[in-house]
Amino acid sequence: MKISAFLFNFLLSLYLFCINETMLGFIINKVDDNLSIFALLFMYFFLILSAVSILCVCKISRIIFTIILTLAAISSNYFMNNYSVVIDFDMLNNVLSTDSREIKDLLSFKMFAYFSVNFIFVIIFLFAFKVKKNTFSVKILNIILPLIIVCVIFFLNSRAILPFLRANDNIRYYNVPFYQIYAAYKLADFKLQSSKPLEKISEDALIKDDDKSKILILVVGETARWANYSLGKYTKNDTNFYTKQESPYFFNNFYSCGTATATSLPCMFSISKREEFSKKERYENVLSVLNRFIDVYWFDNNSGGCKGVCNGLKELQQSLDYDYWLVDKAKESLNNNKAKNLLIVLHLQGSHGPSYYLRYPKEFEKFTPTCKTSDFEKCSKEELINTYDNTIYYTDYIIYQLIQLLKESKADVKSLFYLSDHGESLGEAGLYLHGFPYSIAPDEQKHIPALLWTNYDYINKDKLNYSLSQDNLFSSLLGFFNIQTKDYEENYDIFSKNLGENE
């Protein structure tokens, strides 16, 4: 069947418009006036039509971009609707780091059916019609006419549209699939830049040695949120049954650098603060500085790996079912240690979703009933929270075991510091998982647990309610091991008597 190029573009645009439930829902929920809703919806449709007309300007590009646009729309729409996440640079970066185990956790019949039905429909649409050839002037008209309509609608409704766009600049995240394609381009550019060598930092660094041997175990958690820690104000489940026996110091106002591992992990070790941190920065991190003077080990069970943070260190990265093997590696390192100062970094799989029920052994299923699926729609809120709490409970047990190892160590100064990389949404405001852009992310995805155990009386036990963040890690690691450099900031060091609140 022969149709005009305009009709083909119109039908493809209509499909992309209708499948983008997140954008349509965003506009309808944010605007009270019906006239403004219709104006914004019509503007959005004709912007899609203009973009499609540009991309599908000839037969080859029509086939290529129809497949790219629809695949991006189908995949983005599925995950945004089912998990209430935003598909942006960080989320795509996480996807590239996903291993086969995580992919398996996400697979379901519902997902297979959704992708199959939509893609089959698109293939039929693409090859059922033969598009008539257009003259150059008609092609230009197909592009310009929708833009003229957009301008007219905007001009007639600018008093309502401009304030809406200024107040809701995050609307761009919901522009499926165009924002996701843009994010993919930015990620590709980032990956190309990441091949460049790292610039050195803290080249003036010196270690101020003393007569005390020191060991620090730094535990980097995964997807743990402060809201579900009974060491804080959580009362539903006793998620910290084990560590509370050791009376650790628990920080009540500790925040992450980002809402996804791809950002938070490099950021927390970076010389840059969160506001200045760029995913493109090509500097060494604090572990590189420490590694010049002390032994630094990195053991990793996170499926996303260390995001380049552990490059150049003595490290072992695996991705096993449960995190306990990290305790065995820490024990082995402590037993074999002959160095005066030692830092062991353990990167957990922790509470990584959506398959929380796979993050802990059966014997740690303390809180029931639980949710034994990655499809949250099939679980009650209580089941989901109980399952997530079991992951926290298991992590708590691991931290407790690490503290016992430190107690047995002969070092003079021994500490364990735990902090999560980011938090998690468990259905609040209809949101799940993590990865929302920081500026609009809910507190559950940014407010993280952080606890400290030491074999001495902690000097800042009266500052546990201070506003702190992952920005404190850089100077805290330097301070613990007495590394002196111009880049060290005493007021950011949690081990310093001059610790201050973050601005």
Q: What is the pLDDT of residues 237-278, one digit of tens each?
A: 999 999 999 999 999 999 999 999 989 999 999 999 999 998
pLDDT at 191 over 90: no
Residue 169 clears pLDDT 80, i.e. is over it: no
Instruction: State pLDDT tens for residues 313-366.
Output: 988 888 788 999 999 999 999 999 989 999 999 999 999 988 899 999 999 999
Residue 408 CA to residue 332 CA, distance in Å, equals 13
For 231-366, strand residue ranges (E) read: 249-255, 295-300, 314-317, 341-347
Give the C-alpha separation, 493 to 472, whole Å. Answer: 6
How far is the C-alpha of 229 from the C-alpha of 302, rounded, in Å?
21
Angle at 467 between CA 461 and CA 468, to 5 degrees: 80
Q: What is the Cβ-side half-sphere exposure of residue 398, based on CA atoms within 13 angstroms?
A: 33
Other CB atoms closer than 10 Å to residue 312's CB: what's the count?
15
pLDDT of 190 reads: 74
Sketch the domain layout of the chain as residue ranges: 2-192, 215-492
Per residue in 23-62, pLDDT tens?
Answer: 888 888 888 788 888 999 999 999 999 999 999 888 888 8
Helix (H, G, I), strand (E, B) or coil at 64: helix
**Which CATH number applies to 215-492: 3.10.129.10, 3.40.50.150, 3.40.50.720, 3.40.720.10?**
3.40.720.10
Instruction: Pick the closest to residue 380 from 370, 367, 389, 388 (CA basis).
Output: 370
**Tokens 């546990």 sit on residue:** 464
Q: Note the pLDDT tens digit of each residue in 284-304.
A: 999 999 999 999 999 999 977
Closest CA to 487 of 240, 232, 249, 283: 283
Mark 192-214 as b/e (b = at least 16 C-beta within 10 Å). Answer: eeeeeeeeebbeebebeeeeebb
494, 476 Cβ separation under 8 angstroms: yes
